Amino acid sequence: MIPASFPEKSEIARLTARMLLEIKAVHFNAREPFTLASGLPSPTYIDCRKLISYPRIRSALMDFLTVTVMRDAGFEAFDNIAGGETAGIPFAAMVAERMALPMTYVRKKPKGYGRNARIEGAMSEGQRVLLVEDLTTDGGSKLSFVDAIRETGASCGHTAVIFYYGIFPETEKTLGDHGVQLHYLCTWWDVLAEAKAQGAFDPETLDGVEAFLNDPRAWQEAHKG
């Protein structure tokens, strides 16, 4: 269960960034950018899936995520915790355990046989569902999961993630227009601040990352190909 006392939001963000850096889930490379799933270049990449292999860190972060949701949405706001396939599933299970709630998961698409279901586990009409994922970039991928949850007759007005890019201004509007509030622990800005404080990367790399964060669309356009 959840301890009674937790740091303020700003300290949670700093500690989350520190943990992500400590396990080398954060990758910066301005000279040879990464290619994102969208096909666009980026000098930043984060691998939140690594967290499941670090018990002390994953426990602290799941405590942080649970208390963040309870502080922002309410202590009795949910009846079911759903994880998005696949990265959200372990984190949803850990949050559900802390909140003493049923856990389900949502497939990206119907499995194509048997019940052809997208929801696995028991989710019923009228339940208030929290969607848990590892991260969000622009919020778009969350909408399909939310719609699948709502098709059961349950409601889904909140999603919680460990990491939120925090650099695309349309993200929270995209979710908000769909009736979904976003809860998160830290952003790229928090990671950059902690990386600077630690001297975790060379100054040229940090400058390149900061240029990207300040205007990601222009940076991507300039570095295509």
Binding positions for orotate: 137
Is the bond preceding 159 in cis, omega lying within 30 degrees of 0?
no
Distance of alpha carbon 19 from alpha carbon 56, whole angstroms: 10
Distance of alpha carbon 16 from alpha carbon 11, whole angstroms: 8
Q: Please enumerate, by residue number, every residue annotated as part of a binding site for 5-phospho-alpha-D-ribose 1-diphosphate.
A: 107-108, 111, 133-141
28 phi/psi in degrees, rounded to 5: -120, 130
Minimal CA–CA distance to 47: which of 67, 27, 74? 27
Q: Please enumerate, by residue number, every residue annotated as part of a binding site.
A: 107-108, 111, 133-141
Question: b/e for 9-45, b at 16 or more Cβ within 10 A?
Answer: beebbbbbbbbbbeeebbebebeebeeeeeebbbbbe
